[in-house]
A and B are shown apart, each in its own frame.
Chain A
Amino acid sequence: MAEKFDVIVVGAGMAGNAAAYTAAKAGLKVLQIERGEYPGSKNVQGAILYADAIEKIIPEFRESAPLERHLIEQRVWVLDDTSHVGSNYRSEEFNREPYNRYTIIRAQFDKWFSEQVTKAGGLVICETTVQELLMDGNRVVGVRTDRKNGDVFADCVILADGVNSLLARKAGFHEELKPKDIALAVKEIHFLPQETIESRFNIGEDEGVVIEMAGKITAGMMGTAFLYTNRESITLGVGCMLSDFKKQKTTPYQLLEQMKAHPSIKPLIAGSEMKEYAAHLIPEGGYEAIPPVYGDGWMIAGDAGMFVNGIHREGSNLAMTTGQIAAETLIDLKTAGKECSARNLKVYRQRLDASFVMKDLKKYRKMPEIFHKSPQFFTTYPELLNRAAHTMVKVDGIDKKTKEREIRGSFLAARSLTGLFGDAFKLWRAFQAR
């Protein structure tokens, strides 16, 4: 008779580690399976760590977790081909402990997070790929791994296997992912001396800046770009919806190259040494694209459940929170001596609904559709904004009233009055939604 666990967690990313840690800490018999050489070796993110989500799982994380810089400034840029219009938010409040957000390097952070799982008593097995779920009728009873005699059994399996989740798909729990619900991001990590980063971004030791970018940087596709400061490196990348990538002829790496060559970005990474190139999918379908997240003997957490807030660039915090809630649901069932049936696991979805995860996703449920139908937000408007700024900033003997008229004219010519009001209304309505 093979060994049986209370729970098997598939994957050692943010969701999987949160679930495994929470369950192990409560005394459950936990097996966590990771296909990478070590936890983190398959994981890719920007990456920003939101303190609140990890703090609710490991309150003292700051004492030992590998953190890069805490955020003190956020820049938002709208880019044209050669310029950007932007806003800066720099806050001394963000510069006070306990810090709210940090940049991290996932390969290091996930390794640390996984060590906490082991310390809490969870069994973590790496270099092992889960090939399929073992079923007894409709009920998940375990997993089949690629190890010899690799079947293992559990009362419940938590699927935290990431965006390209094959296990639930193979078991027929949900339909195939659609290109319109998934973004492809490519990124690079560039190393620079710590002092260079600090002087270039006007920041002190441990302090960090993030730049979020939209506009022509995505070559007309629905997407965004980013640049984050780490301690001795800068990560930067660009991501667009797969449905848009399919329609055009630019390769993802060419898009990244164009981003790096942009006059607003080039000086920030000048003289740096590129040490890794990565790609990752991001589930950005939002609320409407969330698959069923529980059933007989299984729950889904993190990216595998589409738990990403694309509007606010949040994902890892949703992953940790959903992983934690999945584990807590299980702990409560175990304590009450109840079985992990779909009927009982329904509580998982109810708790998600009551959390910020579903509330936020629900609030922005119309956003993906609006952006899909309004390419002007990624083409026309960035150009108009940058031209308007250029017109106003340039001193050339033309009076300001004439310049205003010219700017107004350019907006009307590009979008018409109805178009402008329509776009503004669409955005307003989508942001106001509850």
Chain B
Amino acid sequence: MTQVKVEEKLFQNRYRVDAGRPHIHIKQPDLCANHCTEQQCTTCCPAGCYIAEGNGRVVLITDGCLECGTCRIICDEHRNVAWEWPRGGFGILFKFG
């Protein structure tokens, strides 16, 4: 099975990105790099917002976020995700839902 690119799926969606104001943050990036062996966020995020860098760090880009909340709940050992809803009117805008 060929690997699918999530970007191609997200391309179909409608977003109003709150430029420069991401609604999710990694609290302590060092914790991901040095203390989290699994880094499940990089696998489980359905929008592929979490990317494992070669140096063991995890980079988060929230532009394609589907606002499901998966990352907030699966990071239950380290609680290293600071998660807020986007400001009113911003983020994903489902056409069908």
Contacts and interface: CB of A to CB of B under 8 A. Distances in A.
Contacts of B88: 35, 126-129, 145-147
Contacts of B43: 245, 248-251
A177 B47 CA distance: 21
B12 A129 contact: no
Interface string A143-176: 0011100000000000000011010000000001
B38 A246 contact: yes
Given A41-B97, A42-B92, A127-B89, 12 more contacts: A42-B94, A43-B97, A106-B97, A107-B96, A129-B87, A129-B88, A184-B46, A251-B46, A253-B9, A274-B12, A276-B12, A281-B69
A278 B85 CA distance: 17
Interface string A2-27: 00000000000000000000000000
Contacts of B40: 245-246
Interface of A: 35-37, 40-45, 47, 105-108, 110, 126-129, 131, 145-147, 163-164, 166, 176-179, 182, 184, 186, 188-189, 233, 235, 242, 245-246, 248-254, 257-258, 261, 274-281
A45 B92 CA distance: 15
Interface in B1-54: 1, 3-4, 6, 9-10, 12-13, 16, 38, 40, 43-44, 46-48
A277 B97 CA distance: 9
Contacts of B63: none
A246 B96 contact: no
Contact of A278 (B72, B74, B94): B94
B58 interface: no
26 contacts: A35-B88, A36-B89, A44-B97, A106-B97, A107-B97, A108-B96, A127-B88, A129-B88, A146-B87, A163-B69, A164-B67, A164-B72, A166-B84, A182-B73, A189-B96, A242-B73, A246-B38, A253-B4, A253-B9, A261-B1, A277-B9, A277-B10, A277-B12, A277-B66, A278-B66, A279-B68
Interface in B65-95: 66-70, 72-74, 76, 83-89, 91-95
Nearest to B40: A246
Interface majority SS (helix, strand, loop, mixed), chain B: loop
A257 B83 CA distance: 28
Given A43-B94, A275-B12, A35 B3 contact: no
B97 A184 contact: no
Closest 3 CB pairs of A and B: A164-B69, A127-B89, A279-B46
B15 to A, nearest CB: 11
